[in-house]
Structure 1
Amino acid sequence: MRAIKQKIEPLQFTHPTLQFYPLFSLSPQFSRISDHVKRVTAFSNSGLCETSPVRPPNTMADSFNLPLRPILDHNDRPDTLPVEIAQINSQWGSFRDVNEEVLRKKIAEEKDKNGIDEEQSEDATDLDSTERVEQLYKRRADITQFAMQAHMETLFALDFVSLLLSKQLPRQAETSMSAFLKQVAPLGSLNAEAVNPPPKPESTVKDISAVSRGWRIQNFNGAANKLLQAASRLETEVTSETRYWNEVLAVKDKGWKVSRLPRERQALGVQFGFLEATPVFRDRGLASLRRAEDGSLLLDKGLVPSKPRFVRVRVLQSGRLSGCSQSTNPTFSGEETIEGRILQARDTVFEEELFHELFREAKAIAGFGVTTRQNLIQIPASEDLEILLDLVDVDRNHLEPDHGTSKEGNSIAEGLAHTIRILLAYAHRQHLQRRTLLPPPLTPKKRTIPEHQLLRPALAYVQHMSHTQWLQSLLRDIFGVLQSAHISPPAYTANIFSTAQGTASQVPTVEALIESFLTPFESNFKGKLSTPRGSFSISVSTNLSLPPYGTSFDVSFEMPTHPDLKSPGSLSQREEVEAAVTHLLLLDVVFAISSDESPRKQPESKDSGAWEATYPQHGELLLSSDPLNRKKMKIKLSRHELSLEAYTVRCFNGTGLGKKEDPIESESRTWKSSNTSQSLMDHVREITPHKQ
């Protein structure tokens, strides 16, 4: 307040109606308040405040309450030993100066002081308690009155200063003015001016002028420097922005979709993923286009891995690695263009979605022997063929050794890798077509998303190819054995993957080809036999999408000479098919032997007999020349050899049942595919007896 008074004294105030109060006589009042507070505190500590309250008729005490007892700060923590030693040193000095005499003298002084205090307390207790209570309330009223007076004088000073400042800062000063002052005095009605300032010496004026000029020059230089820095920064910013937007336009001209980010409207993003993918990978297909310090474009891929990854296909033949697929994506390097990074991010997201869908489908077809691990899918394609699928980095795949692989295994691995990728793209297109159709009616049941058919068609193709190759190998071996015996094998035609040829339809050619690939695979083998009007047909069908799962062989034949024989029908095991085909061709060989008439055309074999097929299903023929001792022939056919055994039997009731009578005369002959000696028919003619 004294500082305010010293600043205001040289000022002249002019206002027609404003009256001022004595504002600067507050220090005596505050000193008197402090004296009364000390006295009241002493009375309150003596215990007189706990008596019944006697409230004097004082309205000011009702409106203003003041606590009488001070707040005591109790220290719960005892002082540590170092602190106590420091206190003893500061109070008594060194321990060497402390002796018994000094301590006794200090104790005597304390007793004398306590005696004086006791006498004063005894004098104070002599006063009447009623007088003390009255004196307490009187001094309390005095404290309240002085406090209220100080409060009012402070408010008057605040109003005065606020009104004085309202000339220059009306809004700020209005916040600290009282409501009464706002009503009686308008804002800015009080002003202060210097009256007759003392003259300044010329040296001071020159110094002030020089300092002012220096400050102005320094401010101008600072402003110029800031403007130059702002200009250079603006030029750099314009260059960076120009480069950034040029690269953004280049990305858009390449065909990529550029839009604002849904959760960050101030940033741009590029859509490199597939909108028809599952929601998890569809959301990951959007990356923000950030700007670097130099203005170059940065692709913030978010959850996309920094290294490119792909689904690797490996083929194991008899437990040995025979083929492995390779990635077509180049290894990522920091010098790639923004388009290359976008392509790498797109391919990586596609490969991760592909492996995710393969993993889902592998769990659904676990009944086919497919097993899954953390990052590996094992598929038993055939008896000696196993396929492994895993998600690896491109760099890791380059480190894998290539020795031990074969061309056939690599072609199977590459074909399977391309197949599953084409099927996933086809699934995306089918999802787009379903979204364009009318939505199905709402149902309380939640519709489940079926697994994409990626593994099943590819696995069915591999299995069907394996079964057809096995059947072709079986017919090739059996026909080779028949050719070694100089027997003309039946001609047959093979129509491999007949369903893949398809028919004309309205869908595009690519979709028609894939749809034919998703249908069950079929292959047909048809041929004619040596038996008149005889024919056979073998149909191989593979289906892993609908029951019955697996591959089935439908074997059927027509043999009018054996009307009691029926076709075996649908078979599922290779052993059954091999037995049916071998038995069918055995019947054809038996018929060829029984229908051979070349021995009868010779003049010396006029009375010679002919071989009669008694039990053709067992490959047994009987010579009808001797009614009692007949010669019997037994033929066995397999994919590796053709064996013939002839021996003499005793006839019972005109049949060839009996036991061997002349085992020495038993003759046997074997033909294999590598043996091209005497033909079967010539050997039959040789073992056929002739009558002279």
Structure 2
Amino acid sequence: MSGLESLKDVALRPWPANKTDELSRDALLQQIEQLTSERGHLRDITEQSLQANIDAGKDVFNDAKEGSEDDDEEKEAPSMKERKDEILKMQREMASHLDWARFAATNALDLISLVLSADPNKRAPTSFSHTFREAGLNQGLPFGSMGVARENHEHHELKSEERQRKEEQQKRRDLVSKAARMEALDTATDEILKAARNLEKEVRRETKYWQEIVSISDKGWPIQRLRQNVRHVPFGVKYGLPEASDHFKARGFAPLRMDRDGSIILDPYLALKPKTLRVKISEGGKIIGSSQLPVESVVEGLAVEKSIRLARDSLLEEELYHEMSLETRQLLPYGVRLRDSVISADVPGTETSVTARQLLIDCIPRDDKIPDGQGHTYDWLAHSIAEALRLLLTHEHSMRLYRRTQLPSPLTARKQEKKSPPLLRTLLAMLHHLQRVDSLFIYLNTVSSTLRSAGFETPLETSREESWTKLRDTLGKSTKKDLSATDQLLDIFTKPFTGKATLTLPSSQGSQIEQLTIAIRTVIGAPTFGTEYKLALPSSLATDLGLSTENKFQSTTDVTSYLDWILSLHVAHRVLKNEYANRAAAKGNEARVTIASKGSKNGVSVKRDISVELRGGLLALHLSQESSQETHSWSGKGEDVSLKEQVKSWVG
């Protein structure tokens, strides 16, 4: 019996195993995998199929034998047609396999996409195949209509050792997960506490910053919101004057930066040392007066508010000095110079002052100390001049605003020139005018007193500035209703100054009262370029003396000298001549009159020459005779003899 025939009736059965040697789950899975690789899919491995294979004698040895017999058989070479048929058959098989693979891949893609579509964030119709979109989605099949879940398929009972091991692993996983959750909770708690501390810090920081912003705004400072760097610099303060010149207007804004603790950091412009305008009065090379620096009072509120106010004041002082520096170029003929950052201007002296005076104007740091050894006699004047200059600049700002609100002038090809504000020009005009007017009025008062002591009634009316005497009527009838009364008042100072004096001329009894008028006009500019005196004489006096009715003079000396001559002529040619009628005769344009005395014993009259001289407030009469000369004078100190009585005593 051959070996194959001996194995014909052999049945294949599993090797009996002991109960203790039962296969574990992992070993059973390994054997199933081996059977799958040897026999194909598990669905074809059944007890009936294995029994059929055994009955048919299909085993390894038989297959090997048949394979060897087939190899030994000689095969004829296939024909061309058989080869083509075989190739076509293989192509059809490959196509069918490809179609099946494509179908399987498409189904798998649609299945995965449909499962993932349960998440709203992953619903993309393009992830499905074209067939599924047409036959499924477009026909109303909703997203997420299929789900996947894990299920436990363990139906066998685990061993005690494996169960203990799994329980131990589960305990460890639970312990680890619990520790991880506790650690995560601790970390979350720390982060929440840290965020709470940061939030509290930010709240305190924002609260402090907003408190300072509100405090600054309540003081009247305009606050502006910024667009750039909003996180650290959300706001800025505008402390400059809105009508300042372009250069200083740009400097009048400072951002309010936020510090780490919420307080406001001073901008570099606010942190600069504030400056102030200083006016000094020099006489003979010595300082006799200086404008005192403003005394800093205790300011309630924040330090930044004080810094803003000082920066505003400093900006005004710097602009004032800058405008005056530009103005010095036009005032060189009036003794104004700019040297070593100091503006010097000649001040007209007074009658009692022998040495020349000068104004020295500069811009210095606010905290500079006053040098020792300076006089303080004219501190009041220096302080008044400094305040006047500040008022003039603020008035110029108001006038700029007023001009901008008016109807614009017609458009022309010629560009309008921006003129510097009249600051020094107005100051010099006022000082010159007051000095000239006071000097003339002192002279007229002296002359009036002297003539009064000589027995003449010569009332004197003076006005240093006519617009000041008519100020109430001027403000009431003003057409500039948009301007405040202060600006209208300051606007008067920028116009030419005009003074007026009216002196009643000496007259004899019964004669008509005559007055001469002197108008004083001062302007630093065209057409006068200084002070002009206009003397108006009565028409009758001008006709009798052969003089012009109006006369103009450029200095106080010229007008006083002319007045001395006119008054002397009037006393001689009008008063004395009218007093003695036919007995008196005037000679030419000299202040001299010849008066014939009354008849003597021998009937011959004596003629006496009497000359009148008024000079420097002193009135003198000179009697000239053949053998002698006599003089009598009046100085306004209450003399007992009048001029007429003295002449009468001479001529009888």
Output the TM-score relative to the length of structure 2: 0.63
Matched, 1:506 2:479: yes
Q: Is the 8 A contact 2:270 2:308 kept in 1?
A: no
Which of 399, 407, 411 matches 2:370? 399
Q: Which residue of 2 aligns with 1:296?
A: 263
Q: 1:252 to 1:440 in 2, by over 3 A?
A: same
Which of 560, 565, 568 matches 1:586? 568
Q: Which residue of 1 aligns with 2:585?
A: 612
Please state whether the residue corresponding to 1:490 is helix, strand or coil.
Answer: coil
Cα deviation, residue 513, structure 1: 1.6
Q: Which residue of 2 aligns with 1:312?
A: 278
Structure 2 distance, partners of 1:445, 1:611, is 69
Structure 2 distance, partners of 1:477, 1:405, is 31
Q: Which residue of 1 aligns with 2:593?
A: 621
Counterparts of 1:46-85 in structure 2, within 5 Å, are none
Please state whether the residue corresponding to 1:499 is helix, strand or coil.
Answer: helix
Q: Which residue of 2 aligns with 1:496?
A: 464
Counterparts of 1:124-163 in structure 2, within 5 Å, are none
Matched, 1:345 2:327: no
Q: Which residue of 1 aligns with 2:554?
A: 572
Cα deviation, residue 506, structure 1: 2.9
Q: Residue deviations 1:302-356, cap 9 Å, x none?
A: 3356222221223335655443333446279999533222211111111111111
Q: Residue deviations 1:608-628, cap 9 Å, x none?
A: x9443334x422121224879
Cα deviation, residue 480, structure 1: 3.3
Task: Tell me how large the CA RMSD over aligned residues is.
Answer: 3.6
Structure 2 distance, partners of 1:380, 1:305, is 36
Q: Is the 8 A contact 1:371 1:379 kept in 2?
A: yes
Q: Residue deviations 1:398-437, cap 9 Å, x none?
A: 534596333xx44433333222222222222222233334
Q: Which residue of 2 aligns with 1:237?
A: 202
Matched, 1:548 2:528: yes
Which of 378, 394, 398 matches 1:429? 398
Which letter maps to 1:391?
Answer: C
Q: 1:648 to 1:457 in 2, by over 3 A?
A: same
Q: Which residue of 1 aligns with 2:63?
A: none
Structure of larger gyration radius:
2
Structure 1 distance, partners of 2:479, 2:310, is 35
Structure 1 distance, partners of 2:298, 2:363, is 17
Structure 2 distance, partners of 1:214, 1:619, is 130
Please state whether the residue corresponding to 1:632 is helix, strand or coil.
Answer: strand
Matched, 1:257 2:230: no
Which of 611, 624, 632 matches 1:647? 624
Q: Is the 8 A contact 1:331 1:395 kept in 2?
A: no
Matched, 1:520 2:487: no
Please state whether the residue corresponding to 2:224 is helix, strand or coil.
Answer: strand
Please state whether the residue corresponding to 1:618 is helix, strand or coil.
Answer: coil
Matched, 1:269 2:232: no
Cα deviation, residue 228, structure 1: 3.5
Which of 312, 330, 333 matches 1:367? 333
Please state whether the residue corresponding to 2:432 is helix, strand or coil.
Answer: helix
Cα deviation, residue 290, structure 1: 1.6
Counterparts of 1:104-183 in structure 2, within 5 Å, are none
Q: Is the 8 A contact 1:304 1:349 kept in 2?
A: no
Structure 2 distance, partners of 1:467, 1:319, is 24
Structure 1 distance, partners of 2:374, 2:637, is 34
Matched, 1:448 2:414: no
Q: Is the 8 A contact 1:481 1:672 kept in 2?
A: yes
Q: Is the 8 A contact 1:522 1:539 kept in 2?
A: yes
Output the TM-score relative to the length of structure 1: 0.59
Matched, 1:278 2:248: no
Q: Is the 8 A contact 2:596 2:606 kept in 1?
A: no
Cα deviation, residue 453, structure 1: 1.6
Q: Residue deviations 1:645-681, cap 9 Å, x none?
A: 22225xxxxxxxxxxxx3xx22223333457364433
Q: Residue deviations 1:147-176, cap 9 Å, x none?
A: xxxxxxxxxxxxxxxxxxxxxxxxxxxxxx
Q: Is the 8 A contact 2:503 2:517 kept in 1?
A: yes
Cα deviation, residue 274, structure 1: 1.5
Structure 1 distance, partners of 2:616, 2:336, is 32
Give the number of aligned pairs: 459
Cα deviation, residue 465, structure 1: 1.0
Q: Which residue of 1 aligns with 2:358?
A: 386
Cα deviation, residue 225, structure 1: 4.6
Q: 1:539 to 1:674 in 2, by over 3 A?
A: same
Q: Residue deviations 1:36-79, cap 9 Å, x none?
A: xxxxxxxxxxxxxxxxxxxxxxxxxxxxxxxxxxxxxxxxxxxx
Q: Is the 8 A contact 1:359 1:377 kept in 2?
A: yes
Which letter maps to 1:490?
Answer: T
Counterparts of 1:627-642 in structure 2, within 5 Å, are 630-642=607-619
Cα deviation, residue 638, structure 1: 0.8
Structure 1: gaps (5+ residues): 1-198, 601-608, 650-661
Cα deviation, residue 550, structure 1: 0.9
Cα deviation, residue 515, structure 1: 2.4
Q: Which residue of 2 aligns with 1:287?
A: 254
Which letter maps to 1:550?
Answer: G
Cα deviation, residue 460, structure 1: 1.2
Which of 630, 634, 637 matches 1:671? 634
Q: Residue deviations 1:185-207, cap 9 Å, x none?
A: xxxxxxxxxxxxxx9x9xxx999
Cα deviation, residue 263, structure 1: 5.5
Q: 1:263 to 1:212 in 2, by over 3 A?
A: closer
Cα deviation, residue 447, structure 1: 3.8
Cα deviation, residue 451, structure 1: 0.7
Structure 2 distance, partners of 1:476, 1:430, is 39
Q: Is the 8 A contact 1:315 1:388 kept in 2?
A: yes
Counterparts of 1:83-98 in structure 2, within 5 Å, are none
Q: Is the 8 A contact 2:592 2:609 kept in 1?
A: yes
Structure 2 distance, partners of 1:221, 1:566, is 112
Q: Which residue of 1 aligns with 2:519?
A: 539
Structure 1 distance, partners of 2:245, 2:228, is 20
Q: Which residue of 1 aligns with 2:59?
A: none
Percent identity between the two aligned chains: 26
Structure 2 distance, partners of 1:581, 1:353, is 46
Q: Is the 8 A contact 2:271 2:307 kept in 1?
A: no
Q: 1:464 to 1:402 in 2, by over 3 A?
A: farther
Q: Residue deviations 1:221-251, cap 9 Å, x none?
A: 6665554344323312211111111221222
Q: Is the 8 A contact 2:270 2:307 kept in 1?
A: no
Q: 1:445 to 1:303 in 2, by over 3 A?
A: farther
Q: Is the 8 A contact 1:556 1:569 kept in 2?
A: yes
Q: 1:318 to 1:571 in 2, by over 3 A?
A: farther
Structure 1 distance, partners of 2:254, 2:357, is 41
Cα deviation, residue 446, structure 1: 4.6
Q: Which residue of 2 aligns with 1:248?
A: 213
Cα deviation, residue 520, structure 1: 1.1
Which letter maps to 2:449?
Answer: G
Matched, 1:420 2:389: yes
Structure 2 distance, partners of 1:298, 1:381, is 46
Which letter maps to 1:493?
Answer: E
Q: Is the 8 A contact 1:568 1:580 kept in 2?
A: no
Cα deviation, residue 288, structure 1: 0.9
Q: 1:253 to 1:682 in 2, by over 3 A?
A: same
Matched, 1:471 2:440: yes
Matched, 1:460 2:429: yes
Cα deviation, residue 217, structure 1: 7.8
Q: 1:685 to 1:438 in 2, by over 3 A?
A: closer
